[in-house]
Structure 1
């Protein structure tokens, strides 16, 4: 019997996943003011010991991405929240370190993910558009308090976007109430070193200031590649009571050597043709980002029951790249084995200047003793001026003066190809101006245990003179079966304007937006006084009106091949999340996602890389993440084990992307003001592809085993 228990416990730990980050708490179930006699109490608030690990470590007390704040058991939205504590425990540095913590989400490329079967790249900061990481840079986490992922179409809440979901990064802000600070240093494999410093200072009874700086220098496992990241972040807050004002400014400076990084070529079985460390870039190649952000936020409660917030965000970013792009694999010596690639040199610069504004007013009133109502009226406005300057020069299969040299897959010789000797042509310049405005109304009616939500939004989006308008909707229902169990359902829609470059009238444009909708239902629980939290949901998402090449070619005989706004991709899935305090010292979290995303309609002549009935590219059928942590109170230590399983997929080119399972581990010392973290990623050094792209650039390789130590002091 004991053996069976241990095996079951070990299996549960091996399956545990980031549902700890799943926001599935109950407002009444959080009250631990009357603990049972069998529940040990914390001996020191600053120590590693706390009661209710799942609740206090990895649960967010508030979530802003849903517009109307509500306990999860009272919301029809499905939101996963990754807390600051989980980010710390996992030693996460950038967004790619977090994807395994969200059921139904897996890596696609750079900052993009596959979410519920669809490629998703929408990133918001504090509820607003204005991602400071232009182009191909990945968001860093130093100045981020928590990360929220809203699943499914969110057009009614946020306007244009893909139907899989969106990320909202909530930034750190000054606290006028306390003096605090933190110093950290880090060192690890691949020549990794760096550190950070943060301080928060109260300035009188209502003012506070916060400042922080982060710097990290690290190599990567790919040949020639390395990064240097500097983030300087500061802000002031004024919080006298019914009004709060936050002003923030952030500087991002990132230098990436031998980037932009593509994948490693694979064979028809999905196996890498060469080492996962292979890099198509020269040592002189680079990707450099400079980005400045200023943000002002106002929160107020002018009347009892009436709250108001308004946020304005400005971002100015420049990303410069020089890199060698793989352009075609070939057999260089005629022995029948693919062993080299043609390369194309690209010299590019992207700039973006964005302004974003959003405001919300919420009126909360009780109609009677059993009926309550909340109504939200909001608007947002976003403008973006983007500039692109680029030129490219393709090489040949043999060394040719003035052209990029080909590169061997098995014996790459770097430094023989010098971009300063290339016979490059003039730059191509593209400027794109976009503007988007949305107005929305959302109402929530509570009748006893029944909660009904309905919303409507009207958007107008304009890009380079092409204007589109769209209306999106949301309806939700929650029934509180008991205080610990809720059933929920929702219907929501989304839209994505077609790109300005594809609206050419000669090609048949302008075209209606791509649209999406979702039907979803499930059950949320917070059992045993919130110590066992879970969410089970089933959904169907359709994405329609997808722009494709017309199989008839140039229909009008005007010299331009036509496009057609046809096609449908359908995603069906089930997601299950659970976070549990197995014992007062052991928390186990599990998040599992099943997804079936297939092409259900095309243009009659193909249109997609795959055919009707095929699984959509990079959409795994099964995804499982886990995180489990056990603490040793007497020692001030905690040991954690986590990991990620992603089932087989296909790349955009139809090549298989094989299933993988990787494990990570952390050892944490946290007592009083001191904290130490030993982190090991890819514990068993598995070779795997994190995702697939196209055949000439290959699959993105997962990183081999790495480790680092982080030491910190807090006051």
Structure 2
């Protein structure tokens, strides 16, 4: 911890000098170059949570002219909600709820992959949750998006847009203290160095205890960036370092019964105090933006990630009755010592050509992307039993857990992957999209070709796929439009499941969507809303072969026969009700069910059953009222998720939790009091499997943040 604090202090000291240098360089009046980030959303400060423009399909488009559903979480909303991680934001997106770690359920399907600035490659590889410190906004593109981004889950994808250098000088200091020994601070500075060169630098540090026993979290983020403008565009380079130390992790759930009741304290943790998860991740990103003419814009992007993740933790392996009274009271544990490396390179380029062809306004998008990653896994394991056995983990009681009775240094460990299990993945895609606007009609059609290859421990699998998108928007008036789309997606099957002895190789998972809806922007855009109805099908889901091992080769087979269908309705509203009162509310109805299987097993559920962790109803809202003469604002939010089923078909109870903020501003100072789970409700944020239980939601927490803007 001392090294991190020293690094933070050094960075803060260096940053405090940067504004002085920027100030001496003078004020820059030149505007930013005319280039749009991937899925860009631009909003005016006084509008807080609303947006005026999105890049529907990587093209900057007014929301009412888009045939896609995109939810944007602005920097103002992130700040007002006191959001520190991505999990704090999911309530703002209709059809999205927590699944595990950074993973979500999106329109009924599990989704775990995140994009940053339009590129594949996640610096929080593994089991860490993205932080919001250096994020300008979060965008969620709903439904299959294979034509735009290649391999993706059918429920949608997240794109995190990072903060960039600006030519307007700004410095912001923040400090935070809260319950569970939470404390931390950050500094961000941006501004001009010369007339055509701007910088951004930042540092974030926070330390706190988790509500789970033995668990805590320490995070350090350091960042620096430069932006150079020239006649044809701009060049930006960014470097970011992430250092995350999670004590008493990797966290699983709390054991529950089949009715969804916790059978241990929600603070119960299967890990010992000596367990940990650490992530050391370094990211280098460059963006070249060019505008050779008014009708043509180009961008070239690259991101390199080098990350290491180390874990030592106790995994729950099964519940049992230790004293024979008929009640489950203890958990078998397995100790895992794992070390992962992850190195990736992501490249992308887009070209947008615009031209008026008589009565038709025409835009063409052409692009390509390339992604490769290489990784290793060093894995040792010791699996315990129901009794105390020398050299193995001791079972853990559910009530009054017996921490400290076992010593990992004495375990008899087995080496699971003698060759460190090397893995690699390669993705390359090329796409073309045409948009034609004829009067009130906006028509888009596009296609993409992907080539992919996966390797693990000498085994390899490669293939290709085509994905498509077509959309139509009818702009009835400037305030009202109808839209519809058809789009597809694909996901290669896991390399571990492509073994020819198990029936492989298998075709990729595929998905498609039919969607239609209405969008409005009433009162000069002060009230934005959307309502959409959709159906998504996911096919080629792998299941166990009912015949077991029909080839007699000693390996049980799979068959690609499963189908899951998601039907639903999304409704979103963002409104400036008055100059001082804003409201964001969303509702989702979703019915995701297994609609086809192999007739003999493979799914833990049956045809007609709801898919795991897919709620039928979800509601989220956030409202903020400002008492302008007093410099005071109050805000209240709520998050409702209806009943679900876990992967093991246990009930996950519905919940409704409330949060609130009080914000006071005076000149350049601001203080915010934030309270989460105001009524301290005990609930499960999601379900998993029966041996690990449900993930418990956070109990009531509070913090105070003091900030000053220069």
TM-score, length of structure 2 as denominator length: 0.92
Do structure 1's residue 292 and structure 2's residue 282 form an aligned pair?
yes
- Map residues 11-160 of structure 1 onto 2, 5 A cutoff: 56-64=47-55, 66-160=57-151
Q: Which residue of 1 aligns with 2:22?
A: none
Paired residues of 1:578 and 1:591 also in contact (CA < 8 A): yes
Q: Which residue of 2 aligns with 1:620?
A: 615
Do structure 1's residue 278 and structure 2's residue 268 form an aligned pair?
yes
Q: Which residue of 1 aligns with 2:668?
A: 673
Do structure 1's residue 340 and structure 2's residue 330 form an aligned pair?
yes
Paired residues of 2:334 and 2:382 also in contact (CA < 8 A): yes
One of 400, 403, 410 as aligned partner of 2:399: 410
1:276 match: secondary structure: coil
Q: Which residue of 2 aligns with 1:577?
A: 572
Paired residues of 1:184 and 1:195 also in contact (CA < 8 A): yes
In structure 2, how many angstroms separate the alpha carbons of the residues matched to 1:25 and 1:634?
34
Paired residues of 1:478 and 1:489 also in contact (CA < 8 A): yes
Paired residues of 1:63 and 1:148 also in contact (CA < 8 A): no
Paired residues of 2:53 and 2:63 also in contact (CA < 8 A): no
Q: Which residue of 2 aligns with 1:690?
A: 685
Do structure 1's residue 587 and structure 2's residue 582 form an aligned pair?
yes
In structure 2, how many angstroms separate the alpha carbons of the residues matched to 1:407 and 1:691?
23
In structure 1, how many angstroms separate the alpha carbons of the residues matched to 2:227 and 2:447?
33
Q: Structure 1, residues 74-94: CA drift from partner, whole Å, max 9, x if none?
A: 110100011111000000001
Report which stretch shifted further, 469-478 or 406-415.
406-415
In structure 2, how many angstroms separate the alpha carbons of the residues matched to 1:395 and 1:84?
47
Distance 1:448-1:478 versus aligned 2 partners, 3 A rule: same
In structure 1, how many angstroms separate the alpha carbons of the residues matched to 2:231 and 2:530?
36
In structure 1, how many angstroms separate the alpha carbons of the residues matched to 2:680 and 2:496?
44
In structure 1, how many angstroms separate the alpha carbons of the residues matched to 2:52 and 2:230?
22
Paired residues of 2:41 and 2:52 also in contact (CA < 8 A): no
Q: Which residue of 2 aligns with 1:489?
A: 484
The offset of 1:426, in angstroms, is: 2.3
The offset of 1:64, in angstroms, is: 4.6
Do structure 1's residue 564 and structure 2's residue 559 form an aligned pair?
yes
The offset of 1:201, in angstroms, is: 2.9
2:91 match: secondary structure: helix
Paired residues of 1:26 and 1:73 also in contact (CA < 8 A): no
Paired residues of 1:25 and 1:530 also in contact (CA < 8 A): no
Do structure 1's residue 199 and structure 2's residue 194 form an aligned pair?
no
Q: Which residue of 2 aligns with 1:501?
A: 496
Distance 1:231-1:461 versus aligned 2 partners, 3 A rule: same
The offset of 1:466, in angstroms, is: 1.1
Structure 2: any 5+ residue segments left out of the alignment? 1-38
The offset of 1:425, in angstroms, is: 2.0
Q: Which residue of 2 aligns with 1:38?
A: none
Paired residues of 1:65 and 1:127 also in contact (CA < 8 A): no
The offset of 1:424, in angstroms, is: 1.0
Paired residues of 2:532 and 2:569 also in contact (CA < 8 A): yes
Q: Structure 1, residues 650-707: CA drift from partner, whole Å, max 9, x if none?
A: 0000000000000000001134311111100000000000000000000000000000
In structure 2, how many angstroms separate the alpha carbons of the residues matched to 1:456 and 1:272?
48
Paired residues of 1:330 and 1:338 also in contact (CA < 8 A): yes
Q: Which residue of 1 aligns with 2:27?
A: none
Q: Which residue of 1 aligns with 2:414?
A: 425
Q: Structure 1, residues 587-607: CA drift from partner, whole Å, max 9, x if none?
A: 122100000000000111122
2:260 match: secondary structure: coil
Q: Structure 1, residues 474-514: CA drift from partner, whole Å, max 9, x if none?
A: 00000001110010000000000011111111111111001
Report which stretch shifted further, 633-642 or 421-430.
421-430
- Map residues 446-525 of structure 1 onto 2, 5 A cutoff: 446-464=437-455, 465-525=460-520
In structure 2, how many angstroms separate the alpha carbons of the residues matched to 1:291 and 1:680?
31
Paired residues of 1:444 and 1:451 also in contact (CA < 8 A): yes
Do structure 1's residue 664 and structure 2's residue 659 form an aligned pair?
yes
Structure 1: any 5+ residue segments left out of the alignment? 1-23, 32-49
The offset of 1:530, in angstroms, is: 1.3
Paired residues of 2:536 and 2:565 also in contact (CA < 8 A): yes
In structure 2, how many angstroms separate the alpha carbons of the residues matched to 1:207 and 1:672?
29
Q: Which residue of 2 aligns with 1:385?
A: 374
In structure 2, how many angstroms separate the alpha carbons of the residues matched to 1:380 and 1:501?
25
In structure 1, how many angstroms separate the alpha carbons of the residues matched to 2:275 and 2:190?
39
One of 281, 287, 294 as aligned partner of 1:304: 294
In structure 2, how many angstroms separate the alpha carbons of the residues matched to 1:248 and 1:258?
32
In structure 1, how many angstroms separate the alpha carbons of the residues matched to 2:41 and 2:557?
54
In structure 2, how many angstroms separate the alpha carbons of the residues matched to 1:372 and 1:66?
17
Q: Which residue of 2 aligns with 1:445?
A: 436
In structure 1, how many angstroms separate the alpha carbons of the residues matched to 2:295 and 2:561?
47
In structure 2, how many angstroms separate the alpha carbons of the residues matched to 1:390 and 1:236?
40
Q: Structure 1, residues 15-59: CA drift from partner, whole Å, max 9, x if none?
A: xxxxxxxxx9999xx99xxxxxxxxxxxxxxxxxx85xxxx1012
- Map residues 602-641 of structure 1 onto 2, 5 A cutoff: 602-641=597-636
Please provide the CA RMSD for this pair: 1.6
Distance 1:439-1:699 versus aligned 2 partners, 3 A rule: same
In structure 2, how many angstroms separate the alpha carbons of the residues matched to 1:319 and 1:512?
31
Report which stretch shifted further, 610-619 or 198-207.
198-207
Distance 1:641-1:25 versus aligned 2 partners, 3 A rule: farther
Paired residues of 2:56 and 2:68 also in contact (CA < 8 A): no
1:546 match: secondary structure: strand
Report which stretch shifted further, 227-236 or 463-472.
463-472
Q: Which residue of 2 aligns with 1:355?
A: 345
Q: Structure 1, residues 530-585: CA drift from partner, whole Å, max 9, x if none?
A: 12111000000000011111111111111111111111000000011112222222
Paired residues of 2:50 and 2:575 also in contact (CA < 8 A): no
Paired residues of 2:239 and 2:282 also in contact (CA < 8 A): yes
In structure 2, how many angstroms separate the alpha carbons of the residues matched to 1:249 and 1:708?
30
In structure 2, how many angstroms separate the alpha carbons of the residues matched to 1:689 and 1:63?
34
Q: Which residue of 1 aligns with 2:540?
A: 545
Q: Structure 1, residues 342-364: CA drift from partner, whole Å, max 9, x if none?
A: 10000011111000000000001
Q: Which residue of 2 aligns with 1:3?
A: none
Q: Which residue of 2 aligns with 1:16?
A: none
Q: Which residue of 1 aligns with 2:171?
A: 181
Paired residues of 2:592 and 2:614 also in contact (CA < 8 A): yes
Distance 1:462-1:555 versus aligned 2 partners, 3 A rule: same
One of 340, 354, 357 as aligned partner of 1:364: 354
In structure 2, how many angstroms separate the alpha carbons of the residues matched to 1:581 and 1:319?
44
2:237 match: secondary structure: strand
In structure 2, how many angstroms separate the alpha carbons of the residues matched to 1:603 and 1:141?
43
The offset of 1:367, in angstroms, is: 1.1
Distance 1:337-1:276 versus aligned 2 partners, 3 A rule: same
